[in-house]
Amino acid sequence: MKVCVIGAGAIGSLFAAHLATVTDVSVLTRRNEHAEALNQHGLKVSGRHDFTVRVTAVAEASELPEFDLGIIATKATGVTGAAASLAGRFPGATIMTVQNGLGAEEIVRAQGSWPLVSAVTFMSGTKHSDTHVEYVLDTATWLGPYADTPYERVQEIAALLVDSGLKAEALPDLLPAQWSKLIFNATVNGVSALTGLPHNEHFAAEENDSDLGRLVHGLVDEGKRVAASAGVNLHDDPWEMNVLATKRGSAHYPSMLEDVKAERPTEVELINGALVREAGRHAVEAPLHGALYALVKARESSYS
């Protein structure tokens, strides 16, 4: 199964490097220098694993070789462009999305009729350079079929990921896991972006009325009511995910915090926006998530 990874940030680089140890991998980058550096030096993984592999990288989608599996590993804000760059080609390929939030699959579907696989990933990495990514958290990627994609295809992809040294699991229905992560991300990313706090112990503190953990718990409970109204049984409790994550040594800097600090567009639409729209669709109140969504969007509009 030949693979193409579209987008070589931390997550895309981790997929590309590991998969390149077991199959042919092409990488589509945004910048030409990035592609050239990868072709010249290969891609180095440090941290949990330690190796360097050869990959074929291009900065123009028209130069991509054929592939059987395309992994769109851009940020949520890059999915439209990534899918559009593949439109009308690679009819035999399956496309997998791994974005935070909900709705990436629909964006890809609008650009073509490839079979789609949904994924959520809990692994994390730090990109030290265009050709070096550190594998930080070796937690799993979960995959499920989207629409009428055969489940066997999902199982094949999960097996390939496991062969490559990553943790992965195929699930017949990804929604419970996708929604657990959606509620977790909408809450933690939104609060972090607005307060400037990394995901630290404040997020689990509930002793006093004005402790941040009370708000976080309220946001999680509200998200769970939206999930229930959408008929989704969560795979993990987002509050437990939150408490666990805050106990993990050094505090994680959520991407939405990094985005607002750098005055970049955030993933708020596919995360907080998606949750608020689901609440509206199922006629359930979500005032706290509505507030986070409006505040983060307003923060974006304050960029100079």
Which residues of the chain form contacts with a second copy (CB under 8 A)?
Answer: 191, 194-197, 202, 209-212, 214-215, 218, 273, 276, 280, 287-288, 290-295, 297-299, 301-302
Q: Closer CB to a second copy, residue 221 or residue 240?
A: 221
Q: 133 by DSSP, 3-state: which? A: strand
From the CB of 226, what's the least distance to a second copy, in Å? 15
From the CB of 80, what's the least distance to a second copy, in Å? 19
Q: Closer CB to a second copy, residue 40 or residue 301?
A: 301
From the CB of 100, what's the least distance to a second copy, in Å? 18
Q: Closer CB to a second copy, residue 120 or residue 286?
A: 286
Q: Closer CB to a second copy, residue 144 or residue 213?
A: 213
Distance CA 264, CA 157 (A): 33
From the CB of 217, what's the least distance to a second copy, in Å? 11
Count of C-beta atoms within a 10 Å radius of residue 302: 8
Q: Which helix H or strand E contains 179, and what residues bound it?
A: helix 175-195
Q: Closer CB to a second copy, residue 151 or residue 253?
A: 253
Distance CA 244, CA 161 (A): 26
Distance CA 125, CA 13 (A): 9
From the CB of 104, what's the least distance to a second copy, in Å? 19
3-state secondary structure 19-87: HCCCCCEEEECCCHHHHHHHHHHCEEEEECCCEEECCEEECCHHHCCCCCEEEECCCHHHHHHHHHHHC
Q: Closer CB to a second copy, residue 157 or residue 191?
A: 191
From the CB of 202, what's the least distance to a second copy, in Å? 6
Q: Which two tokens stand for residue 211?
A: 């402790």
Distance CA 91, CA 115 (A): 9
Q: Closer CB to a second copy, residue 53 or residue 230?
A: 230
From the CB of 241, what's the least distance to a second copy, in Å? 19
CA atoms within 13 A on the CB side of 66: 4
Q: Which two tokens stand for residue 122?
A: 């809990």
